[in-house]
Amino acid sequence: MTAVGDVRRRRIDELAAKAGAIPEGDGGLSLTRSAIRRLRRDPVAIIGAVIVVVFLVVAAFAPLLAPKDPVTQYLLSEIRPGLIPGPQEGFPLGVDNLGRDLLSRLIYGSRQSLMIGVVSTVLGLVVGMTLGVLAGAFGGWVDTVVMRFVDIILSIPGLLMAITVSVLLGQNQYSLMIAIAVVQVPVFARLLRGSMLAQRGSDYAVAAQALGVKKGRIVFGHVLPNSLSPVIVQATLSLATAIIEAAALSFLGLGDPDIARPEWGAMLANAQDFLSVRPWLAIWPALCIIVVALGFTLLGERLREALDPKFRR
């Protein structure tokens, strides 16, 4: 080997290390960590996250933030057919057809709407994932039975399925949540199963098998964790659809009849009758729904890209 000045040698290595350095952020980081890193630098994801966080804070501190009680009726003397008082002193957004403060109802409504979204999605997620894991982990006849069942639920268009469940369970907030959850179950089940099957066939799973790793360890230690990212993405997106779906059910008269719990969907549905009198009664809750749904959607879409190795550079 040729003699090389030690100092120079080191200098070359230094330069090489700099030139060949892997851009900061990747390499050696777990997929989740690097996904979060990328999300933090993504303005769209941040907008989505900020929207979601703001609404969560509003929901959590509703009693502190709301200027009035959401069910007390005010200004009743001023309400007559064809006239609903607009914004004025003490009522920044005016009152609804029953004289209740619109702003306070919107603030309190965030609690109920977000709760319906979260509970129904979590419910759908838990049941759907259980079915998906069963099908994906065991395969064979378990897979066939589970997937046939899922296909049957899927054969009824979403809202019709929700209507069916909701009619069966009667009108209350739990029925609403369950109805929406049922629609989500097949989505999660199929997604998880599909992604698990793909992972099971992948080289690393086959390699683990060849190394003699136990099947249960492969499925639950490797395949399942690696299959979760599409499910997480879908769950985020589902939060948006669940809230919209709840509004639709309310609109069809299948909402929560308890007036003590204002909810955007019900407010929107109720306001349709007064659209030509005061369209803002409908526009405000609709805006809340749209913005929250948008927040979850932005977050979900960006999460999808962040978790997808295809988009990684």
Q: Which of 224, 286, 299, 306 binds other proteins (CB under 8 A)?
A: 286
- Closest Cα partner for 119 from 242, 251, 262, 293? 242
Q: Which of 1, 64, 210, 211 binds other proteins (CB under 8 A)?
A: 1
Q: How would you classify residue 3: left for phi > 0, otherwise alpha for psi between -120 and 50, otherwise beta?
A: beta
Non-local (6+) Cβ contacts of 99 within 8 A are 73, 74, 75, 76, 79
Contact between 81 and other proteins per CB under 8 A: no
Contact between 309 and other proteins per CB under 8 A: no
Q: Which of 50, 76, 83, 152 binds other proteins (CB under 8 A)?
A: 152
Strand intervals (E) in the chain: none
Token look-up 């057919």 returns 81
Choose the stretch contacting other proteins; rule: CB under 8 A; options: 95-103, 151-159, 173-181, 227-235.
151-159
Contact between 82 and other proteins per CB under 8 A: no
Nearer to other proteins, 162 or 224 (CB): 162
Contact between 290 and other proteins per CB under 8 A: yes
Under rule CB under 8 A, which residues in 33-72 are in contact with other proteins?
none
Give the HSE-up count for residue 172: Cα atoms under 13 Å, Cβ half-sphere. Answer: 3
Q: Report the alpha-carbon distance of residue 153 to residue 137 in Å, rounded.
A: 21
Distance in Å, CB of 208 to other proteins, minimum: 27
Non-local (6+) Cβ contacts of 285 within 8 A are 106, 109, 264, 265, 267, 268, 271
- CB–CB of 110/58 below 8 Å? yes
Contact between 297 and other proteins per CB under 8 A: yes
Contact between 279 and other proteins per CB under 8 A: yes
Q: Which of 177, 268, 281, 303 binds other proteins (CB under 8 A)?
A: 268
Distance in Å, CB of 159 to other proteins, minimum: 3
Q: Report the alpha-carbon distance of residue 110 to residue 118 in Å, rounded.
A: 12
Q: Which of 56, 127, 142, 244 binds other proteins (CB under 8 A)?
A: 244
Distance in Å, CB of 189 to other proteins, minimum: 15
Q: Report the alpha-carbon distance of residue 132 to residue 134 in Å, rounded.
A: 5
- CB–CB of 169/179 below 8 Å? yes
Cβ atoms within 10 Å, residue 61: 12
Residues near other proteins (CB under 8 A) are 1-2, 4-5, 8-9, 11-13, 15-16, 18-20, 148-149, 151-152, 155-160, 163-164, 167-168, 170, 240, 244, 247-248, 251-254, 265, 268-269, 272, 275-276, 279, 282, 286, 289-291, 293-294, 297-298, 301
